[in-house]
Amino acid sequence: MADITFSICTPTFNRAHTLPALYNSLCLQSDLNFEWLIVDDGSTDTTSILISEWMKKSPFSIKYTLQENGGKHTALNRGINLALGELFLIIDSDDTCTSNTVEVFKSEWDSIPKKDKNKYSTITALCLDGDRNIIGNKFDKDRVDVESPEQQFILRKQGERFGVNVTSILKENLFPIFPGERFLPEGIIWNRLSSKYTARFINSPLRIFIMRKDGLSNNILKIRVNSPEGTKLNYFEQLELNLPYVMKLRVYINYYRFSFHSPKKIILKFNFLSLISLPLAYIIYNYDSSKLKRLGD
């Protein structure tokens, strides 16, 4: 096999019922020169049995590692450290991808002149829902190279996105770990990379995103409240971005909102947006607490 360009990483936890669809979509790739890294975050279902069967017949390399449950971000760190590919693609255990995903990302990466590659960290594509509709806004052009960290942030916020990153850069920018917390917003890393590197955005829908009742998106309030340090750090770092007024206000509100959920002291910012966001954040914090109490959490 030629040198592997892609390491596709799937962190998983008790998803034996969804992994077969993802595996099948990977088997259908037009370019099979990749490794699939499955990091099992302490599953107790039949995940390991499924994967052991696939490893016997798969048309691509599969590497499986089991770890004690620590959250998706810790599984991603494990996958990043194990990755051999030049590029690192995260795809969740309950999603699938189009048959040209690897081919399109590789073509885009190869189109960047060799002398300029060290300026780029990320190529970001679009996502489809279960009915094959694009989720969110398309980009203004079919290919957009963006240096500004603020503009990268805004483009990522305008819809569900799917990106490949340079593995060597990720190895130097692993997800921070907070003891006792099992969640960290992935955006914390993408924002850090955007402050140093250019990102390419392409109007190619490559990932099929399915909203599930047991998924992170549907349980995000409880998950974020139970991991306040990582959550508020994500918003704290966003405060450094020169964002539009309304967007910046939302960041302040969420930073203070999850600071109230944290047992640690709040770090105050002394400016107009900070002052008007504090009471709003406290109201939402109380609403969060009431909602979780009603749900028995």
pLDDT of residue 3: 82
Q: Tens of pLDDT along 260-289?
A: 999 998 889 999 999 999 999 999 999 999
pLDDT of residue 139: 97
Tell me: pLDDT of 117 over 60: yes
pLDDT of residue 71: 96
Mean model confidence pLDDT for the chain? 95
Q: In this structure, are strands 161-166 and 120-128 parallel, antiparallel, or unpaired?
A: antiparallel
pLDDT of residue 104: 98
> Rounded to whole angstroms, how far apart are CA atoms 161 and 126?
5
CA angle 96, 99, 100 (to 5 degrees): 120
Query: Which residue shows structure tokens 């006792």?
Result: 180
CB 122 within 8 A of CB 199: yes
pLDDT of residue 210: 84
pLDDT of residue 265: 87
Question: What is the mean pLDDT of the segment spanning 153-177?
Answer: 97
Query: Which residue shows structure tokens 């967007």?
Result: 247
pLDDT of residue 295: 79
> Rounded to whole angstroms, how far apart are CA atoms 133 and 142?
17
pLDDT of residue 216: 63
pLDDT of residue 217: 60
Question: What is the mean pLDDT of the segment spanning 203-218?
Answer: 80
Tell me: pLDDT of 1 over 50: no
pLDDT of residue 240: 95
Contacts made by residues 105-111, CB under 8 angstroms, sequence distance 24+: 105/6, 105/164, 105/206, 106/5, 106/6, 106/31, 108/143, 108/200, 108/202, 109/5, 109/164
Question: What is the mean pLDDT of the segment spanning 89-110?
Answer: 97
pLDDT of residue 60: 97
Tell me: pLDDT of 31 over 80: yes
Q: Tens of pLDDT along 136-153?
A: 999 999 999 999 999 999
Q: pTM of the prediction?
A: 0.94
Q: Tens of pLDDT along 219-262?
A: 899 999 999 999 999 999 999 999 999 999 999 999 999 999 99
Confidence label for 296 from pLDDT (cuts 50, 70 and 90): confident
CATH 3.90.550.10 domain range(s) in the chain: 6-211
Pick the CATH number of 6-211 from 3.90.550.10, 3.40.50.300, 3.90.950.10, 3.20.20.480: 3.90.550.10
Percent of the chain with pLDDT over 90: 91
Tell me: pLDDT of 213 over 70: no
Q: What is the dihedral of CA 107, 109, 113, 119, to 10 degrees?
A: 160
